[in-house]
């Protein structure tokens, strides 16, 4: 239960920060979601640093890693989790899984959003 609470709290802080950054930066630039872009890249950097430090010598406890990596970074951007998983595939030499996961995530993700919009228009 404690672990779930840590992830919940970290996710809340991450989501709030993502909202603030996107709300401020996205309207500043037409035709480019700068806030979302920066959040995705920063989230990837953060999860890399957090998990890298965790692996190097247990610099973070399990509770701290859950709060920061799973919770905060997960709430801040799920793209960071995606990028970490891709890093794992590359580190393990799993090029097929890396390629399949990357392409299918992007293609199916965009198609799923399009399908969602299409489904909401069926009744009109």
The 10s digit of each residue's pLDDT in 65-97 is 999 999 999 999 878 888 888 999 999 999 999
What is the pTM (predicted TM-score) of this model?
0.76
> Distance (Å, rounded) from C-alpha 18 to C-alpha 35?
8
Choice among 25-29, 94-98, 99-103 with the minimum mean pLDDT: 25-29
**85 torsion bin: left (phi>0), alpha (psi -120 to 50), beta (else):** alpha
| Residue numbers belonging to the annotated binding site | 74, 77
Domain boundaries, the chain: 2-77
pLDDT value at 123 more than 80:
no
User: Which residue has better confidence, 33 or 97?
Assistant: 97
Report, as an integer, the average pLDDT of 10-39: 90
| Residue numbers belonging to the annotated binding site for Na(+) | 74, 77
User: Which residue has better confidence, 118 or 2?
Assistant: 2
CB-CB contact of 73 with 14 (8 Å): yes
Answer positive or negative: Cα dihedral of 9, 10, 14, 20. positive
User: Which residue has better confidence, 77 or 17?
Assistant: 17
pLDDT value at 109 more than 70:
yes
Q: How many residues does the chain have?
A: 124
Dihedral angle over CA of 112, 113, 118, 121, nearest 10: 140
CB-CB contact of 40 with 80 (8 Å): yes
Q: So what's the pLDDT on residue 64? A: 93
């Amino acid at each position: 239960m404690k672990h779930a609470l840590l992830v919940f709290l970290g996710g809340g802080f991450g989501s709030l920060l993502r909202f603030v950054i996107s709300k401020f930066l996205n309207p500043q630039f037409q035709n480019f979601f700068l806030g979302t872009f920066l959040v995705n890249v920063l989230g990837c950097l953060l999860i890399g640093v957090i998990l890298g430090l965790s692996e190097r010598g247990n610099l973070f406890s399990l509770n701290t890693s859950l709060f920061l990596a799973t919770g905060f970074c997960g709430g801040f951007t799920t793209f960071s989790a995606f990028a970490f998983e891709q890093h794992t595939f590359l580190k393990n030499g799993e090029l097929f899984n890396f390629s399949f996961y990357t392409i299918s995530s992007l293609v199916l993700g965009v198609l799923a959003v399009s399908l969602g919009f299409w489904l909401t228009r069926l009744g009109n």
